[in-house]
A and B are shown apart, each in its own frame.
Chain A
């Protein structure tokens, strides 16, 4: 596969769709042979259990996960709205308030108003899954259930675990069919436990339909964010970051701390320049990019244990994670219009390192095709320092993919000021 195609093979967030269908009573089950009966029994049992807890929210899906009326879904399903009306798969209507959202990991938690609460499905342990295990996705693909009120169920298997994607850390990958409208809906084991909520689908050549690679945000990722989401009082929950530590992203095979800011959380935790972070929480760290992703598996404010190598010894440190620092690419656009043509590249900034040149036009970011600067800024506003964004540039009539590791916005400003002084 050419790397050009990799940028075309977008990972897109599932979104909302509306459609037309109508209801009729479900038919009675007939008798069948053992293997099929096992499959059907499993799936229909899962669906029976799921129906009351499954929620149609807007054009997407959600699921009630505890007896107090908390419903989990994707942040991109509830968008900016504070209140939602939703219907369960059993046809009951509820009104719910968004109590917390974590846009960076695409989670939102709602609480249903009133005393009449739906049944719930328990969150399972996603770390106990294994590749090949059967899983069931319940959802509202293409909005087909909007009118008849019936969710759809698809059966597949676990393809991979612990996959980190932009906007989706610690994912369960599945080949069960998930499509636009499945967003926020549960991915379940055949014994009825929620092991993730379906969030993204990998698309082949830009068509927004399932190609056998779906990403569900794992139940354990949900668990780690749940306390913060409950307490958020409607606010945004930021992902964690090694606040104050700058990592060396150029080293292969290890995550080495480059700088530690004075008075920062990283310094308080005892991190020093030159430390190599080997473990965070339960996970081994492969390199700096991996560490950045692993840190996002926790919300800001979480207390985590780090294992670092220093002078040939392993030390254990405890750190309270900070919030991520806004990131920037380090380019200046032409003033006064929406053009994405680059006027200046900040010397020494990430764009400069990535070989971006004045005159290049940004055509795409993180898989999205963009035309306006406002779209570029909207997508970048969610990105933080240390994160890699994939840009598509137009240069001399060709599309060129580049990966840019974002630097702290404040640092870019300093570089820009310095360049202005010189210039």
Chain B
């Protein structure tokens, strides 16, 4: 029996006993039998991706990023049965629409129902389905990801990866469900498994989350293509289109999504967009090696990318899109992430949900907590109340934003991943955070504001939404709220910094191996080199990288430390003067 079908069967058997609630896995089972892997042959090479059967007579909806208009040959693989040749019925590259007709389909193949996207709202459950990273070709299984509709807005530019086909520009549905390469052309489905959009490769620079071309955009051309083609073939068919969702495939997910959709409504009036225009900054020399590790790993969130230049400065630039803030007093105090208003500001505006665009000024800020207070001249604004209780690890939370479209609220949901990051000033969340929603509120299911999203990753566009995000909880906000209101600039705590990147080598190494020495740091001036093994800091032994981190962070900048190192066969002592930790 096929793997996915077996899984679906198992799921049905297990449905009654699951801790997390019953799962109507037949929706995924049906979907597995409606989804196809598509390969198109062109003069430029082969294209691969996903498609979905929209009519039982053999019409498959896919994307022009999978089947370009000039495709010479289209091959379609179903969950079972041999590969079949498809006929390219129609394409409309402006909306990434491609329609393929296959002459025959394996027994049991399903067609998905299409739901008009007009009634789709932000916060409702959604899932994606398709051949992510060619898992179908490799392992005979498609990939499903559960999420929500996290935004709906207009895309005005093509952010298409180099060498790729043109992608759709216009109104999109955004989702937190996975959209990985290979899933393009596949379906975005509502919580009941009805198709609400076509997964696209375009993206908002403010968000870097997956988007779909809404079904309402596709329906006209799709229906016309199928009706014309089927009439010409002498077997006219019509698509089935519905207006609403059916029973949810994952009831618990649906309940939570609905609760958060309501909760978001309650606070939406307090969530504002922030538009900052900066003076062009004079390049400042920095160490490019520090903002991308040799392995390209993301570094700690940093608060002031304007200070960065060098080869990666381009990707660290903010997108040309608003950020988010939160009204905290009726007379116009707005809390946001310091990142959003840092740098040499030329002009600063706040766009209220009712469309008013007001000039704003900065009051105080705290670069370490990544918070800033803004002020606009207004009265009777709907101020959000900061929750009294802390949110525990595991609690469900949602991050709200007003970007790229200030008129439209975005919402990403997740849980609290860890308490007390960054000296206890922040919590870690797995709700997707990005340029657009940074500075916006983190809410719980009751709609209470439990924090402000901060410390956005500035390591590059695709490292947005890594699932490691941060928020400043209300307890930490309250510690500085009055000072921010009073216009105070709160100094960063000064912590010692050696300037090495270390690798773990186990106890065999007898210390911590230096992988790289950062330029212009105490470590470099002291003559440390890659390959040295640090065995002691002063008299204290160093067994693992965390030991070194702890021992160095205990010291203040300017202090001198004595490092015992092994270099080749010799053991040496080196004196190093600590600098200021750049990340805090």
Which residues from chain A sit less than 8 Å from chain B, CB to CB? 1-6, 8-9, 11, 15-30, 32-33, 35-36, 38-44, 47, 56-60, 77-85, 87, 95, 127-134, 141-148, 150-165, 173, 175-180, 189-191, 202-213, 252-253, 284, 286, 290, 293
> Which of B217-225, B387-395, B401-409 interfaces with chain A?
B387-395
**Given A26-B392, A131-B7: A33 and B418 within 8 A (CB)?**
no
Contact: B392 with A212, CB < 8 Å? Answer: no
Interface SS majority for chain B:
loop
CA distance A134 to B396 in the complex (A): 14
Contacting residues, chain B, for A39 (C-beta < 8 A): 256, 394-396, 415
Contact: B20 with A27, CB < 8 Å? Answer: no
Contact: B138 with A163, CB < 8 Å? Answer: yes
Contacting residues, chain B, for A165 (C-beta < 8 A): 138
Beta-carbon contacts under 8 Å, B423-456 to A? 423-424, 428, 430, 444-446
Contact residue among B44, B210, B300, B508 (Cβ-Cβ distance under 8 Å from A83): B508
Contact: A85 with B543, CB < 8 Å? Answer: yes
Contact residue among A19, A80, A180, A211 (Cβ-Cβ distance under 8 Å from B180): A211
Beyond A2-B165, A16-B503, A131-B7, 11 additional contacts (C-beta under 8 Å) are A2-B45, A9-B180, A20-B584, A21-B420, A30-B391, A47-B393, A150-B420, A190-B19, A208-B463, A210-B468, A290-B139
CA distance A35 to B21 in the complex (A): 11
Contact of B492 with A by CB under 8 A? no
Contact residue among A56, A133, A155, A178 (Cβ-Cβ distance under 8 Å from B415): A155
Contact of B576 with A by CB under 8 A? no
Contacting residues, chain A, for B146 (C-beta < 8 A): 132, 156-157, 175
Contacting residues, chain B, for A152 (C-beta < 8 A): 417-418, 428, 468
Contact: B141 with A161, CB < 8 Å? Answer: yes
Name, among B145, B179, B249, the residue most crowded by chain A CB atoms within 10 Å (CB to CB): B145
Contact: B468 with A33, CB < 8 Å? Answer: no
Contact of B505 with A by CB under 8 A? yes
Contact of B323 with A by CB under 8 A? no
Shortest distance between the CB of A142 and any CB in chain B (Å): 6
CA distance A177 to B459 in the complex (A): 17
Contacting residues, chain A, for B140 (C-beta < 8 A): 162, 286, 290
CA distance A15 to B290 in the complex (A): 17
Q: How many A-B residue pairs have CB under 8 A?
A: 364
Contact: B10 with A130, CB < 8 Å? Answer: yes
Contact: B163 with A2, CB < 8 Å? Answer: yes
> Which of B107-115, B129-137, B278-286 interfaces with chain A?
B129-137
Contact: A42 with B19, CB < 8 Å? Answer: yes
Contact: B135 with A163, CB < 8 Å? Answer: yes
Contact: B546 with A18, CB < 8 Å? Answer: yes
Contact: B298 with A209, CB < 8 Å? Answer: yes
Contact: B65 with A1, CB < 8 Å? Answer: yes
Contact residue among A3, A23, A26, A161 (Cβ-Cβ distance under 8 Å from B393): A26
Shortest distance between the CB of A38 and any CB in chain B (Å): 7
Q: Which residue of A lies closest to B182 (CB)?
A: A1
Q: Which residue of A lies closest to B65 (CB)?
A: A1
Contact residue among A8, A59, A284 (Cβ-Cβ distance under 8 Å from B545): A59
> Which of B46-54, B148-156, B375-383 interfaces with chain A?
B46-54
Contacting residues, chain B, for A30 (C-beta < 8 A): 389-392
**Given A155-B415, A177-B467, A212-B180: A130 and B145 within 8 A (CB)?**
no
CA distance A4 to B45 in the complex (A): 8
Contact of B215 with A by CB under 8 A? no
CA distance A7 to B8 in the complex (A): 31
28 contacts between A and B (CB under 8 A): A1-B184, A6-B181, A18-B502, A21-B422, A22-B422, A23-B420, A24-B419, A26-B392, A27-B391, A30-B392, A32-B395, A35-B252, A38-B21, A58-B506, A79-B504, A131-B25, A131-B144, A133-B20, A133-B23, A142-B300, A144-B418, A153-B394, A159-B143, A164-B138, A173-B132, A175-B147, A175-B177, A209-B457
Contact of B274 with A by CB under 8 A? no
B337-356, CB under 8 A of A: which get 1 and which 0? 00000000000000000000
CA distance A312 to B19 in the complex (A): 47
CA distance A143 to B428 in the complex (A): 13
Contact residue among B133, B134, B250, B420 (Cβ-Cβ distance under 8 Å from A148): B420
Contact residue among B139, B180, B503, B508 (Cβ-Cβ distance under 8 Å from A82): B508
CA distance A56 to B7 in the complex (A): 33
**Given A42-B394, A173-B143: A153 and B544 within 8 A (CB)?**
no
Shortest distance between the CB of B36 and any CB in chain A (Å): 15
CA distance A147 to B178 in the complex (A): 31
CA distance A191 to B19 in the complex (A): 7
Contact: B419 with A42, CB < 8 Å? Answer: no
Contact residue among A4, A143, A160, A290 (Cβ-Cβ distance under 8 Å from B135): A160
**Given A9-B133, A163-B138: A132 and B28 within 8 A (CB)?**
yes
What 6 A-B pairs are tightest by C-beta distance, nearest first? A177-B467, A81-B506, A58-B504, A212-B178, A43-B394, A24-B424
Contact: A36 with B143, CB < 8 Å? Answer: no
Beta-carbon contacts under 8 Å, B500-536 to A? 501-509
Contacting residues, chain A, for B392 (C-beta < 8 A): 26-30, 40, 44
**Given A28-B392, A134-B20: A161 and B3 within 8 A (CB)?**
yes
Contact: A81 with B509, CB < 8 Å? Answer: yes
Contact: B164 with A5, CB < 8 Å? Answer: yes
Contact: A202 with B423, CB < 8 Å? Answer: no
CA distance A203 to B465 in the complex (A): 12
Contacting residues, chain A, for B296 (C-beta < 8 A): 206-208
Contact: B138 with A128, CB < 8 Å? Answer: no
CA distance A269 to B295 in the complex (A): 45
**Given A59-B545, A177-B430: A130 and B394 within 8 A (CB)?**
no
**Given A26-B419, A27-B390, A44-B392: A18 and B545 within 8 A (CB)?**
yes
Shortest distance between the CB of B464 and any CB in chain A (Å): 8
Name, among A47, A80, A144, A159, the residue most crowded by chain B CB atoms within 10 Å (CB to CB): A159
Contact of B581 with A by CB under 8 A? yes
Name, among A11, A41, A44, A155, the residue most crowded by chain B CB atoms within 10 Å (CB to CB): A155
Contacting residues, chain B, for A142 (C-beta < 8 A): 297-298, 300, 468
Shortest distance between the CB of A97 and any CB in chain B (Å): 9
Shortest distance between the CB of A32 and any CB in chain B (Å): 6
Shortest distance between the CB of B518 and any CB in chain A (Å): 13
Contact residue among B28, B49, B165, B583 (Cβ-Cβ distance under 8 Å from A131): B28
Contacting residues, chain B, for A209 (C-beta < 8 A): 298, 457, 459, 462-463, 466, 468
Contacting residues, chain A, for B544 (C-beta < 8 A): 58, 85
Contact residue among A9, A84, A177, A253 (Cβ-Cβ distance under 8 Å from B468): A177
Name, among A18, A21, A33, A150, the residue most crowded by chain B CB atoms within 10 Å (CB to CB): A18
CA distance A153 to B427 in the complex (A): 12
Contact: A205 with B161, CB < 8 Å? Answer: yes
Contact of B475 with A by CB under 8 A? yes
CA distance A151 to B583 in the complex (A): 21
CA distance A44 to B46 in the complex (A): 47
Shortest distance between the CB of A190 and any CB in chain B (Å): 5
CA distance A133 to B48 in the complex (A): 28
Q: Which residue of B lies closest to A11 (CB)?
A: B133
Contact: B396 with A79, CB < 8 Å? Answer: no
Shortest distance between the CB of A73 and any CB in chain B (Å): 12
Contact residue among A38, A59, A147, A153 (Cβ-Cβ distance under 8 Å from B504): A59
